[in-house]
Amino acid sequence: MRETRPEIAATTIATTMTAPQERILAALHAISAVMAEGTLIQAEADVEFSPDEFIAEEDNVVIVSRDGWVKRQKEVKDLQSTRLREGDAVLACFAGSTRATCVFFTNVGVAYTCRIVDVPA
């Protein structure tokens, strides 16, 4: 196979082409010149995200047991059928969004806050 330089091959082809073929070749050269420059992609501005944007907003029920266990469920049809440890019972429950904040008070006056999404399911 014989190697040829591209500029020699292009001039040889150009001398034997018809007028429509020359227009097509000129268009291809124009496209080639634009593509050779490359495309510069720039960010318009720094995008900031808050952690709340990554939390799906869903309705949940938080259940607090008499022994102090806390759990989160998506749906509760009957509190009596909720699975708890043996000998334990439901003390309180409340509904809220996964993005909402809940506060738990202890018997010694300490308050703990957390988002409902952070309560174990």
Tens digits of residue pLDDT in 64-88: 988 889 999 988 888 877 888 888 8
Bigger pLDDT: 23 vs 3: 23
The pLDDT score that the predictor gives to residue 7 is 53
Say whether pLDDT at 4 is over 60. no
Q: Ramachandran region of residue 109, left (φ > 0), alpha (ψ -120 to 50) or beta?
A: left
How far out from the chain centre does Cα 13 lie? 52
For the chain, domain boundaries:
6-37, 51-118
Which of left, alpha, beta for 94 (phi over 0: left; psi -120 to 50: alpha)? beta
Two structure tokens written together for 66: 């008499």
Which pLDDT band holds residue 111 (cuts at 50, 70, 90)? very high
